Amino acid sequence: MADNARAKRLADLIREVVAQKLQRGIKDPRLGSHVTITDTRVTGDLREATVFYTVYGDDEERAAAAAGLESAKGILRSEVGRAAGVKFTPTLAFVADALPDNARTIEDLLDRARQSDEKVREASAGAGYAGGADPYRKPDDDETDDTAE
């Protein structure tokens, strides 16, 4: 089993090689400049690599890019093997990165929270305190309450 540092170095190399090959070496029109390699992870035994990517565009372009990456998998693996110089070139699996969708969901939630905060701020604009400005008892207040009883 390889150490984690070696797996990390191989993952970084795979990410760079695949990105460069997609940018310069693959002539597939489905893999235009709108595909971005975001992350790569390699298993501990250095046999399998998962390459995460994002696609700038709609669902149709995402599906086309996925098909293009699947068809270019052999060429990309050969290029990785040539660059890495390892005994066994890892198999490549391409996975669409969910990070942009998650970020969009978080932004939507934050916008809703801001709108809710604004509604609360508007509702409390002219409101007064329910129990006075300072609702806490002070020591001198206790003495006056005991004598009143």
pLDDT in tens, 107-120: 999 999 999 999 98
55 with 65: CB under 8 angstroms? Answer: yes
Six-digit token string for 145: 């309450």
Tell me the C-alpha distance between 84 and 90, whole Å: 10
Q: Mean pLDDT, to the nearest integer, of 46-63?
A: 88
pLDDT in tens, 67-98: 888 888 888 899 898 888 888 989 999 998 88
CA-wise closest residue to 73 among 95, 55, 58:
95
- Give the pTM: 0.68
pLDDT at 136 over 80: no
Listing from the earlier edge strand, what are the strands of the sheet with 35-42? 35-42, 48-55, 91-96
pLDDT at 17 over 70: yes
